[in-house]
Amino acid sequence: MDINWVRKLAAVAARAPSADNTQPWMLRWNGDEVAIVFAGRDRAKSVFPVDSHATLISVGAVIENIQAVISANAISAEWRLPAAPETGQPYASVTLHGAPANFVTPEGPLRRHTNRFPFRSDALPEGLLDQLGNYHEGPSRISLLVDPVEKSRMARLVQVCSEARFCTEELHEWLISSLRFTPADAARGDGLDIASLGLPPGGRHFFRFIANWKRMASLNRLGLHKLMALIEASLPAKAPALLCIIGQGNPRNIICGGRLMERVWMELNLQGIGVHPYYVVTDQINRFSTGKVTAGFEARMSKVEEETRTLLALQPREMLHMILRIGYPKLSPVRSERLPLETIFQDARASSSALF
């Protein structure tokens, strides 16, 4: 198989979304198969380790992008998920059988992106919403909130979770370390370009100002976290629809949730509809269930969990994987960069022969 063809596949796979654009994956090619393995970038600071929900969601998105390449090029392929994919060694692998001389680039993964700006208020086509509502992957499914009362209830959950998030030192440090304040920093290829955040004038100076946790903690005593959470929750409340990815919480099924999220996100972007993910509710519920929620927020998180279950009519084994705010964009956002291909793609044959 032509290595340049596989490199092109890897570049498309790497367009997958990841929390704060950390790209916690590596694609390893052994001549027959591509394996998706964990890459703990800046491990010391990472709040999302190898087996975390956020990492597994991203892995699902990488799988979906690779599958888009396989389908666009009409090649035969076999996927394998190990018994314990959460070890990340590998998460999944795919054997590729032959490839056409030309690489056909699927549009979906390249058009998919995050849009954090406000959306127009016009409703989305009902036919499209019905169609999306039928998308499934394994036990993962979609629930759409279009009713203003339901959207407000979900926005309120975003607000409460966001307050907790802004009061969590670990998450604050992680967010600040992800921000890329200059074009040169953004060009490194990971993290969040501050220009992609849709901040009001002065927003970037504000983030520099609150970068120091001690200062943030003092301002939180005056209620800054409440103000920031209120701002964060204002957009989901006004969105034409909130699309919730729901599924089961074991590693294989979280990966399914990531596949479904990426599929629906690509479809929406291809149809000119903007998508903005909100992970804060899932993350805070996960932190609550593992005893990692910030002290003082336990009772509120317990209520958030209960209210999420009621609002989305979750079955006992189900959980919320992700909320997507969707609507027609008013503005085109700056697109996030990706790490250089050498950082995320490895030809294992080349590296093993170099050892001898």
Residues 328-347: x where in contact with ligand FMN by CB under 6 A, - otherwise, as a string? -------xx-----------
> Is the CB of 90 or the CB of 109 nearer to ligand FMN?
109
Segments of 98-150 assigned E as strands: 141-145
CA 318 vs CA 137, 142, 250, 307, 321: distances in Å: 14, 12, 10, 14, 9
The token duo for 154 is 């979900």
Amino acid residing at 220 = N
Q: How far is the CB of 225 from ligand FMN (least distance, A)?
A: 16
For ligand FMN, which residue of 50, 132, 192, 326 counts as binding (CB under 6 A)? 192
The token duo for 104 is 């056909």
For ligand FMN, which residue of 9, 14, 18, 194 counts as binding (CB under 6 A)? 18
Q: What contacts 29, CB < 8 A, 6 or more positions away?
A: 3, 6, 10, 345, 346, 347, 348, 349
For ligand FMN, which residue of 114, 143, 220, 269 counts as binding (CB under 6 A)? 114
Cα 244 to Cα 330: distance, rounded to the nearest angstrom = 22
Q: How far is the CB of 260 from ligand FMN (least distance, A)?
A: 12
For ligand FMN, which residue of 113, 153, 204, 309 counts as binding (CB under 6 A)? 113
Interacting span for ligand FMN (CB under 6 A) from 111-119, 137-145, 222-230, 242-250: 111-119
Q: What contacts 327, CB < 8 A, 6 or more positions away?
A: 119, 120, 121, 122, 124, 239, 240, 241, 273, 274
For ligand FMN, which residue of 35, 36, 58, 248 counts as binding (CB under 6 A)? 58
> Is the CB of 48 or the CB of 77 nearer to ligand FMN?
48
For ligand FMN, which residue of 25, 91, 103, 278 counts as binding (CB under 6 A)? 278
163 contributes a contact to ligand FMN by CB under 6 A = no
The secondary element (H helix, E strand) that includes residue 21 is none
- In the bound state, the residue with its beta carbon closest to ligand FMN is 17
Q: Long-range CB contacts (< 8 A, 24+ apart) of 165-169?
A: 165/229, 165/280, 165/283, 165/284, 166/216, 166/220, 166/224, 166/225, 166/228, 166/229, 167/217, 167/220, 167/225, 167/294, 167/296, 167/297, 168/294, 169/213, 169/217
Q: 243-262: which residues touch ligand FMN (CB under 6 A)?
A: none
Taking alpha carbons only, the member of 251, 304, 300 closest to residue 281 is 304
> Is the CB of 19 or the CB of 268 nearer to ligand FMN?
19
Amino acid residing at 19 = A
Interacting span for ligand FMN (CB under 6 A) from 54-62, 69-77, 94-102, 214-222: 54-62
How many residues would you count in the chain?
A: 356
47 contributes a contact to ligand FMN by CB under 6 A = no
156 contributes a contact to ligand FMN by CB under 6 A = no
Interface with ligand FMN: number of residues (CB under 6 A): 19
Q: How far is the CB of 222 from ligand FMN (least distance, A)?
A: 25
Interface with ligand FMN (CB under 6 A) = 17-21, 54, 57-58, 113-114, 116, 192, 276-280, 335-336
